[in-house]
Amino acid sequence: MKRSLVLSAALAAALLMPTGRALPCPFCNNAGNTFMQEAGNASMILFGTPKNPRLDASGKGTTDFDIEVVVKSHDFLGKKTSLVLPMYLAQPEGEKQYKFLLFCDVYKGQLDVYRGVPFKSDSRIGEYIKGAMDLKDKDWSTRLRFFFKYLDDPDTEISSDAYYEFAAADYKDVRGVAGEFSADKLRAWLKDTGTPPSRYGLYGMLLGHCGKPADADFLREIIAESKKRISSGLDGAFAGQLMLQPKEGWEYLAATFADRKSDFMLRHAALRAARFLWDSRPDLVQRKELAKGVAVMLDQPDIVDLVIEDLRRWEHWEAADAIADLIGKAGLDTQLIKRSILRYALRCPPEKSAKLAGFVKEQRQKDPKWVEEVESLLNTESPAAAAPKQEKK
């Protein structure tokens, strides 16, 4: 992944970081609605086998559908065990027979099948989504215990959906139940080369809750093995090893910040772990110490803009002089870095750094439109943290 693409996603996440409420699982990638979320929008959900697809003379398609599981019922269905679908739904050519999960609307007495997801005949999707529906009004702890059992389901549609349920959960709810999960399973999943790298974050974090102190060394081995490959989930492994061994874990994280020769992706994962510690686990590392550790990366051109954004969001004004010293420095005089410095300077109290205050004044004179745009976006992002009044003349 190119640094520019990583930057776009990372900067967007940093700018849109929610405050004042519980945070969703910080180490999961949420790629859309889960089956449960979609179920709330559907009038009816059925699981079964399509048979005898046909087209009439006008080209209109119909298909017989044998219902095996009624996931969500509707008066339209009554006691029927089969339906004629108003569509041509054939089995994939050359494949074994598939079953389908159908999401349906009913409008003016007419059936509208708006989504169909194929599954192999031995899939457990019927029991999975029926079980999930039965738990929809239960507390998150009960629901997450259910979804954990399906994280390694051989059907990728099911295992992915279970993963996305964890992604949708607030961290406080995940934390409340994570200590009950199987450390043996999590270690096995992390060792498995077939595990999607994006899941390392969730599994590493969960192991940090249910593992033993020795598992910190295991997680550090996972991180070391992943240095030469792009992995979006190492942030959770960084956090997990610190949960299990707070002192040694912090030293390891801080050393990663300071190693400017290490891969950008590794340092970026460490930075994301620091954000998690700041937002969700300030009990593990004092915030002042955490910010000082992150500030070590201010001399690293490929990540400095992200570091400045976090220090601004954390209101770590002790870094003001170090950030002011970056102005005009060779290799750092890019528009992206200048924007981050300006955003920090607009929020930083003027008395913390005369040089930053002067930088704001100079930019207002040179390019007032640019400063106005940056300031407007900043105020939209966090209006409650209004910028200290900087001199505009």
Which CATH number characterizes residue 121's domain? 2.40.50.120
In a domain, 78, yes or no: yes
Same domain, 281 and 299: no
Question: Does one domain contain both 228 and 269?
Answer: yes
Domain count, the chain: 3
φ, ψ for residue 213, nearest 5 deg: -50, -35
- For residue 138, tell me if it sits in a domain: no
pLDDT at 4: 46
Domain end position, chosen among 127, 161, 194: 127
300 and 259 within one domain:
no
pLDDT digits (tens, 9 = 90+) for 314-330: 999 999 999 999 998 98
Residue 393's pLDDT band (boundaries 50, 70, 90)? Answer: very low
In a domain, 30, yes or no: no
Q: Which long-range contacts (CB under 8 A, 24 or more apart) does 281-288 make?
A: 281/239, 281/243, 284/242, 284/243, 284/246, 284/250, 285/242, 285/246, 285/250, 287/314, 288/316, 288/318
Split at pLDDT 50, 70, 90, the class of 8 is very low
- 146 located within any domain: no
For residue 124, CA distances in Å to 105, 157, 159, 195 come to 24, 10, 11, 20
Across the chain, how many H-helices and E-strands are there? Answer: 18, 5
375 found inside a domain:
yes
Whether the per-residue pLDDT at 15 is higher than 50: the answer is: no
The whole domain housing 378 covers 295-388
User: Quick one: 269 and 307 in the same domain?
Assistant: no
Q: Say if residue 62's pLDDT is above 80.
A: yes
The CA-to-CA distance between both ends of the chain, in Å, stands at: 43
59 backbone dihedrals φ, ψ, rounded to 5°? 90, 5
